[in-house]
Amino acid sequence: MININNDEFDEFDRNADNVGIVHVLDENDEVMSNAKVQLYLNRNSLLGLGTELIRLAYNYVEGKHYHIEPADKETLCQRLGIFLTPDSNELIICCSDQDTIDEYLE
Protein backbone atom coordinates (compact mmCIF):
# COMPACT_ATOMS: atom_id res chain seq x y z
CA MET A 1 0.00 0.00 0.00
CA ILE A 2 1.36 3.40 -0.95
CA ASN A 3 0.96 6.25 1.49
CA ILE A 4 0.80 9.26 -0.85
CA ASN A 5 1.49 11.82 1.88
CA ASN A 6 4.30 10.12 3.82
CA ASP A 7 7.33 8.29 2.42
CA GLU A 8 8.98 7.74 5.80
CA PHE A 9 7.94 4.08 6.16
CA ASP A 10 8.00 2.76 2.60
CA GLU A 11 8.52 -0.98 2.83
CA PHE A 12 10.47 -1.19 -0.43
CA ASP A 13 13.45 0.79 0.89
CA ARG A 14 14.02 -1.02 4.21
CA ASN A 15 16.92 -3.14 2.94
CA ALA A 16 18.54 -0.50 0.68
CA ASP A 17 18.03 -2.89 -2.24
CA ASN A 18 15.82 -0.51 -4.24
CA VAL A 19 18.71 0.20 -6.61
CA GLY A 20 18.59 1.23 -10.25
CA ILE A 21 21.21 1.79 -12.90
CA VAL A 22 20.91 4.56 -15.51
CA HIS A 23 23.06 4.56 -18.62
CA VAL A 24 23.12 6.89 -21.59
CA LEU A 25 24.27 5.08 -24.72
CA ASP A 26 25.91 6.60 -27.77
CA GLU A 27 25.13 5.60 -31.37
CA ASN A 28 27.33 2.50 -30.93
CA ASP A 29 25.53 1.44 -27.74
CA GLU A 30 28.59 2.38 -25.67
CA VAL A 31 27.95 3.84 -22.22
CA MET A 32 28.57 7.58 -22.11
CA SER A 33 30.10 8.61 -18.80
CA ASN A 34 29.22 11.96 -17.24
CA ALA A 35 26.10 12.24 -19.40
CA LYS A 36 22.89 13.67 -17.99
CA VAL A 37 19.38 12.34 -18.39
CA GLN A 38 16.34 14.61 -18.28
CA LEU A 39 12.75 13.45 -18.22
CA TYR A 40 9.99 15.99 -18.74
CA LEU A 41 6.75 14.38 -17.57
CA ASN A 42 3.37 16.01 -17.10
CA ARG A 43 0.89 14.79 -14.49
CA ASN A 44 -0.79 12.23 -16.74
CA SER A 45 2.49 10.85 -18.03
CA LEU A 46 3.71 10.51 -14.42
CA LEU A 47 0.50 8.67 -13.54
CA GLY A 48 0.63 6.51 -16.68
CA LEU A 49 4.29 5.56 -16.37
CA GLY A 50 4.07 5.15 -12.59
CA THR A 51 1.05 2.86 -12.87
CA GLU A 52 2.70 0.74 -15.55
CA LEU A 53 5.95 0.51 -13.57
CA ILE A 54 3.97 -0.73 -10.54
CA ARG A 55 2.29 -3.34 -12.76
CA LEU A 56 5.69 -4.34 -14.11
CA ALA A 57 7.04 -4.69 -10.57
CA TYR A 58 4.19 -6.99 -9.56
CA ASN A 59 4.75 -9.09 -12.69
CA TYR A 60 8.55 -8.86 -12.48
CA VAL A 61 10.61 -11.14 -14.71
CA GLU A 62 14.39 -10.77 -14.73
CA GLY A 63 15.50 -9.60 -18.18
CA LYS A 64 12.08 -8.39 -19.32
CA HIS A 65 12.38 -5.04 -21.05
CA TYR A 66 10.37 -2.47 -22.94
CA HIS A 67 11.51 -0.11 -25.67
CA ILE A 68 9.59 3.16 -25.68
CA GLU A 69 10.18 4.82 -29.01
CA PRO A 70 9.32 8.38 -30.00
CA ALA A 71 5.92 8.76 -31.63
CA ASP A 72 5.50 9.76 -35.25
CA LYS A 73 2.44 10.13 -37.47
CA GLU A 74 2.75 6.57 -38.77
CA THR A 75 3.46 4.80 -35.49
CA LEU A 76 1.56 6.60 -32.76
CA CYS A 77 2.65 4.07 -30.15
CA GLN A 78 2.05 4.34 -26.41
CA ARG A 79 4.17 2.09 -24.23
CA LEU A 80 4.26 1.78 -20.46
CA GLY A 81 1.58 4.44 -20.11
CA ILE A 82 3.27 7.26 -22.03
CA PHE A 83 3.85 8.68 -25.49
CA LEU A 84 7.29 10.10 -26.27
CA THR A 85 7.41 13.20 -28.47
CA PRO A 86 9.07 12.88 -31.90
CA ASP A 87 12.19 14.76 -30.71
CA SER A 88 12.68 12.40 -27.73
CA ASN A 89 15.27 9.67 -27.46
CA GLU A 90 14.29 6.03 -27.20
CA LEU A 91 13.84 4.91 -23.59
CA ILE A 92 14.52 1.31 -22.58
CA ILE A 93 13.19 0.04 -19.24
CA CYS A 94 14.79 -3.25 -18.11
CA CYS A 95 14.01 -5.59 -15.23
CA SER A 96 17.39 -6.34 -13.66
CA ASP A 97 18.28 -7.61 -10.20
CA GLN A 98 20.79 -5.40 -8.37
CA ASP A 99 22.76 -5.63 -5.14
CA THR A 100 22.13 -3.34 -2.18
CA ILE A 101 23.43 0.21 -2.54
CA ASP A 102 26.11 -0.56 0.06
CA GLU A 103 27.65 -3.12 -2.30
CA TYR A 104 28.09 -0.46 -4.99
CA LEU A 105 29.60 2.05 -2.57
CA GLU A 106 32.35 -0.23 -1.22
DSSP state letters, the chain: ---TT--TT-GGGTTS--------B-TTSPBPTT--------HHHHHHHHHHHHHHHHT--TT-EEEEPBP-SS----BTTBPBPTTSPPEEEE------HHHHH-
Mean pLDDT of 93-104: 94
Q: What is the pTM for the complete model shown?
A: 0.84
The DSSP bridge partners found for residue 93 are: 66
The residue ranking higher by pLDDT, 72 or 9, is 72
What is the total count of domains within the chain? Answer: 1
Grade residue 3 by pLDDT with cuts at 50, 70 and 90.
Answer: confident
Chain-wide mean pLDDT for the chain?
92
Closest to 68 measured CA to CA, from 47, 46, 85 = 85
Model confidence pLDDT, tens digit, residues 38-88: 999 999 999 999 999 999 999 999 999 999 999 988 878 889 999 999 999
1, pLDDT greater than 80: no
Domain that holds residue 54: 1-106
